[in-house]
Amino acid sequence: MMYLISADVNTLQFALLIVSLCFLPLIIWMFAAGIRVRTQFTKYSQVMSQKGYTGAQAARAILDANGMHDVQIMRCAGSLTDHYDPTTRTVSLSQATHDSTSVAAIGVAAHEVGHAIQHEEDYAPVKIRTKLVPVVNFTSRLSMPLILIAMVFELMGYFSDFSMKLSTFFLGLAVVCYFFYCLFTFITLPTEYNASSRAKKQLVDCGILTQEEVGDASKVLSAAAKTYLVNFAFSLMQMLRLLLIVLIRRNRNNR
């Protein structure tokens, strides 16, 4: 990063070209990851568990085994909309997960309970992620308006150097906004992977799935985890792209 800040315009332009070329494969990866999640979930939704637990029953069994009797389980609308809300201590499971006895549904339910266990144990990445939520909510709303303002001043910059400097300033603020979002997606990675790891262990320890069934559920969770990985990569490239544009403009203005 320090090398980029001190680099000359030609080097920065080359770096910007490389970063820009990365977006097409990232977009393809993003679509492929999303398709992979639904394909794996659909496939293993047809594989019923031997013990016959539903997603909700599996979630309840794991919560009770960890002494978390006060955590509630609720249905939520949609498909693959399962989530854990730490503010209400509620595991929300979609219809396809709540009542299904498939290894896919049980795996997803256990993953969300993994988040509840993380919260109960004050898992560090979860604490950081929770504190970042209001910051990211605020900066996410600002990023696009800042970019639009920067574009307006850039158009005016053809008639005024001061307008171009203002454009660079607002674009720099957009970089800061993207930094917080990029940090949020980065912190999300250990949170999600750890929740899946906890889920697989709990499913075996509580006797809900066999080792073979956990292997099948793991394929669903692994596919879902890759969507968070590509989201981080995309946000990082977007932040780098904006940063390089700001640095190029700054160097030009300092000539």
Q: pLDDT tens track of the chain, all 255 residues?
A: 555 555 667 788 888 899 999 999 999 999 999 999 999 999 999 999 999 999 999 999 999 999 999 999 999 998 889 999 998 999 999 988 999 999 999 999 999 999 999 999 999 999 999 999 999 999 999 999 998 998 888 777 666 677 888 888 999 999 999 999 999 999 999 999 999 999 999 999 999 999 999 999 999 999 999 999 999 999 999 999 999 988 888 776 655
From the candidates 112, 121, 154, 212, give the one annotated as an active-site residue: 112
Q: Is residue 108 part of a domain?
A: no
Residue 6 is predicted with a pLDDT of 56
Q: Is residue 60 part of a domain?
A: no
- CB of 164 within 8 A of CB of 154? yes
Rounded Cα–Cα distance for residues 188 and 182 (Å): 10
Q: Is residue 243 part of a domain?
A: yes
Write the single-letter amino acid at 131: K
Q: Is residue 111 part of a domain?
A: no
Residues spanned by the domain of 193: 2-49+122-253
Residue 255 is predicted with a pLDDT of 55
Full-model pTM? 0.88
Residue 7 is predicted with a pLDDT of 62
Number of domains in the chain: 1
Q: Is residue 228 part of a domain?
A: yes
CB atoms within 10 A of CB 203: 29
Q: Is 213 a catalytic residue?
A: no
Q: Is residue 185 part of a domain?
A: yes
Q: Is residue 87 part of a domain?
A: no
**Contacts within 8 Å (CB) and 24+ apart, 206-209:** 206/58, 206/61, 206/62, 206/65, 207/51, 208/49, 208/51, 208/53, 208/58, 208/61, 208/62, 208/106, 208/110, 209/49, 209/50, 209/51, 209/103, 209/106, 209/107
Q: Is residue 176 part of a domain?
A: yes
